[in-house]
Amino acid sequence: MDVVRVVAEPRRRAILWLIWDEELSAGEIAERFDVTFGAVSQHLKVLRDAGLVTLRQEGRKRYYRADRDAMGPLATYLQAMWAERLDALAELAELAERAERAAGTEDSERAERPR
């Protein structure tokens, strides 16, 4: 199975991101998406068949975690991609915060001006 094609699907990348540093049950993963549990389960099966996730079963629950070692160089690529997105998100948050402060300053200056 071509792992690049597997991770090319955005929802599968999002699932990998969720289970990159922690093990989550299939239900916990599914709760974070706006699709059915069955759809998430299918994505997990594709990831499992590709060897990109590990599965641990405890009773009736199935727990998943990204298998970074199995990904080889792809793991480094995914981490870099997510880091870039987080950096961009942080920049946007900082810009919004500055704009909010600037707007607040303008509002307070207007309030202090005599009419």
Give the predicted TM-score (pTM) of the model: 0.66
- CATH number, span 1-67: 1.10.10.10
Question: What tens digit of pLDDT does each residue of 28-74 get?
Answer: 999 999 999 999 999 999 999 999 999 999 999 999 999 888 777 67
- In 44-80, which positions are buried (b, 16+ CB within 10 angstroms) versus exposed (e)? bebbeebebbeeeeeeeebbbbbbbeebeebbeebee
pLDDT, mean over the chain: 82
Tens digit of pLDDT for each residue in 68-95? Answer: 887 776 766 666 666 665 555 556 677 7
Q: Where are the domains of the chain?
A: 1-67, 72-115
